[in-house]
């Protein structure tokens, strides 16, 4: 079994701090740059699972890098370069404390809420009689607060965000415009691969008065995709859709009695299960990008990352 990278402890020149997220280790360099190492950790229900998934970090980083490049004409983004298969280096921004979630279909958590009786999400009214996986007339924005580590993100409306001073009205309306334009581009790119971009999240920050897209974009950790072929037929029959996302991990956990609630224990992740998740992530990469995935099988991944980042920083700092 390939080695999974679940933690890093680098010390780079000019390093100010290290933030360890659910999946990413983010190194602050001189308060000007960020080195984002996408580890092989995997989270679900806001819980980091006990085993890493080989190649997952490489998959996520390379998909995000591709989509950042493909959307740079829509919105400035934080990326400077990707010097390693698991690393992106970019400008440091002050992040907004909200995540912009765009949904084109009633599925996942929105369907679970709807089925439980909710007819409004984040101030957006939903009509009666909708079915699981049904397409909305047009994509909707359902922002969430950006939770501290270990806490759950919470749905919040546009007006509440502005009233609480989390984001100014002017900035928030720009985030709306950027989010919907990015989602449209992602939808078009997915369609070329025979996929439907169902929903996704975007994060933004600000530097010197300008808004930047930050973090990842259109990866299977932040997005949900359906296969376009057979969507209508499955929907008409009330069947589950064939999808490309992390939802299959959530479903496996729920089948084994885990939803991240107090007192629940993560089920055992066998070698076979970990391998199957790794294979699914590689499938995701190839379907989403239309390119063959090339496993980087360096004998010492951590040394490779460290050397590649140090060489990159030597040119920047």
pLDDT number for residue 148: 63
Closest CA to 185 of 71, 30, 93: 71
pTM: 0.91
Which candidate, 104, 66, 109, 71, places its Cα nearest to that of 293? 66
Establish how many alpha carbons lie within 13 A of residue 19's alpha carbon, considering only the half-sphere containing its beta carbon: 13
Question: Which pLDDT band holds residue 32 (cuts at 50, 70, 90)?
Answer: very high
Where in the chain are the domains? Answer: 15-94+270-316, 99-244
Query: What pLDDT does residue 96 have?
Result: 97
* pLDDT tens-place string over residues 189-203: 999 999 999 999 999
Tokens 């995997």 label which residue?
42
Q: What letter would DSSP give residue 267?
A: P
Q: What is the pLDDT of residue 248?
A: 86
Measure the CA–CA gap between 136 and 123, rounded to whole angstroms: 15
For residue 86, give the DSSP letter: T
pLDDT of residue 270: 95
Question: Quick check: 24 and 37 in contact, CB under 8 A?
Answer: yes
Phi, psi (degrees; rounded to nearest 5) at 276: -65, -35
Contact 108, 217 (CB under 8 A): no
Q: What is the pLDDT of residue 146?
A: 84
pLDDT bracket for residue 92 (50, 70, 90)? very high
Q: Report the pLDDT value the prediction gives residue 147, as an integer from 0 to 100.
A: 67
Averaged pLDDT for residues 140-144: 97
pLDDT score of 294 more than 80 = yes
Specify whether the CB–CB gap between 115 and 106 falls below 8 A. no
Neighbouring C-beta atoms of residue 289, cutoff 10 Å? 17
What is the torsional sign of CA 104, 106, 108, 114? positive
At residue 201, the pLDDT reads 97
Residue 15 has pLDDT above 80, yes or no: yes
Q: What is the pLDDT of residue 244?
A: 82
Domain 99-244: CATH architecture, name and number where available: 2-Layer Sandwich (3.30)
pLDDT in tens, 104-116: 999 988 999 999 9
What is the CA angle 146-190-210, rounded to 5? 45
Question: Please, are residues 248 and 280 in contact by the beta-carbon 8 Å criterion?
Answer: yes
258-262 average pLDDT score: 93
Domain 15-94+270-316 has CATH 3.30.200.20: yes
Answer whether residue 225 shows pLDDT above 70.
yes
pLDDT of residue 274: 96
Alpha helices in the chain (DSSP H): 56-70, 108-115, 158-163, 169-192, 231-237, 247-255, 271-289, 301-316
């Amino acid at each position: 079994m390939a080695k999974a990278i679940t933690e890093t402890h680098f010390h780079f020149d000019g390093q100010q701090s290290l933030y360890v997220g659910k999946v990413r280790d983010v190194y602050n360099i001189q308060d000007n740059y960020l080195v984002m190492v996408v580890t092989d950790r995997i989270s679900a229900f806001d819980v980091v699972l006990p085993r890493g998934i080989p190649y997952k970090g490489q998959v996520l980083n390379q998909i995000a890098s591709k989509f950042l490049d493909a959307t740079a004409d829509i919105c400035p983004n934080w990326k400077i370069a990707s010097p390693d298969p698991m690393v992106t280096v970019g400008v440091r921004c002050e992040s907004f404390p909200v995540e912009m979630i765009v949904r084109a279909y009633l599925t996942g958590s929105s369907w679970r809420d709807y089925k439980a009786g909710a007819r409004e999400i984040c101030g957006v009214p939903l009509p009666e009689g909708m079915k699981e996986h049904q397409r909305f007339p047009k994509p909707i924005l359902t922002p969430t607060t950006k939770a501290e580590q270990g806490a759950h993100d919470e749905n919040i409306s546009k007006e509440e965000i502005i009233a609480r001073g989390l984001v100014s009205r002017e900035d928030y309306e720009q985030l709306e415009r950027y989010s919907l334009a990015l989602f449209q581009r992602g939808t078009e790119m997915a369609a070329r691969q025979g996929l439907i971009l169902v929903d996704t999240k975007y994060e933004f920050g600000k530097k010197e008065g300008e808004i930047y897209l930050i973090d990842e974009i259109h990866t299977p950790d932040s997005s949900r995709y359906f296969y376009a072929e057979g969507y209508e037929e499955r929907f008409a029959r009330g069947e589950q859709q064939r999808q490309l996302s992390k939802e299959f991990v959530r479903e496996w956990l729920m089948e084994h009695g885990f939803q991240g609630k107090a007192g629940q224990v993560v089920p055992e992740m066998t070698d076979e299960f970990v391998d199957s998740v790794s294979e699914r992530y590689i499938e995701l990469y190839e379907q989403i990008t239309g390119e063959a995935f090339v496993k980087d099988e360096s004998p010492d991944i951590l040394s490779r990352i460290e050397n590649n980042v140090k060489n990159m920083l030597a040119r920047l700092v």
